[in-house]
Homo-oligomer: A and B are copies of this chain.
Amino acid sequence: MGMPGFINVRQGINYTYLNAGNRSLVQYLRDEIGLPVYIDNDSSLIALAEQRFGIAKAQQNVMVINLGWGIGLGMIVNNEIFRGHNGFAGELSHIPLSDDDALCACGKRGCLETVASMQVVAEKAIEGINGGRATSVKDTDSVASKALLDDILDAAGKGDQFAIELLSDAAYKIGKALAILIHIMNPQAIVLSGRGARSGKILLAPIQQALHKYCIPRLAESTQLLISDLGFDAELIGAAVLMMENFEKEVKSLPTLAV
Contacts and interface: CB of A to CB of B under 8 A. Distances in A.
Interface in A56-112: 60-61, 73, 77-78, 82-92, 94-97, 99, 106, 108, 110
Nearest to A221: B86
Interface string A104-141: 00101010000000000000000000000000000000
Given A77-B77, A108-B216, A186 B94 contact: no
A147 interface: no
Chain A contact-residue range equals 35 or more
Nearest to A106: B216
A186 B96 contact: no
A218 interface: yes
A82 to B, nearest CB: 7
Nearest to A217: B107
A155 interface: no
A80 to B, nearest CB: 9
Interface stretch (A20-28, A175-183, A245-253): A175-183
A15 interface: yes
Contacts of A91: 183-184, 186, 216, 219
A258 B223 CA distance: 48
Interface in A10-54: 15
Interface in A176-204: 176, 179-181, 183-188
A94 B181 CA distance: 11
A232 interface: no
A95 B186 contact: no
B84 A185 contact: yes
Nearest to A90: B184
A186 B87 contact: yes
A89 B185 CA distance: 5
B188 A85 contact: yes
The 10 lowest CB-CB distance pairs between A and B, nearest first, are A84-B186, A89-B186, A91-B183, A85-B188, A96-B214, A88-B186, A95-B180, A86-B222, A95-B183, A61-B85
Interface of A: 6, 15, 60-61, 73, 77-78, 82-92, 94-97, 99, 106, 108, 110, 176, 179-181, 183-188, 213-214, 216, 218-219, 222-223
15 contacts: A61-B85, A86-B186, A88-B219, A89-B184, A89-B186, A91-B184, A91-B216, A92-B183, A92-B184, A96-B176, A106-B216, A108-B213, A108-B214, A184-B184, A184-B185
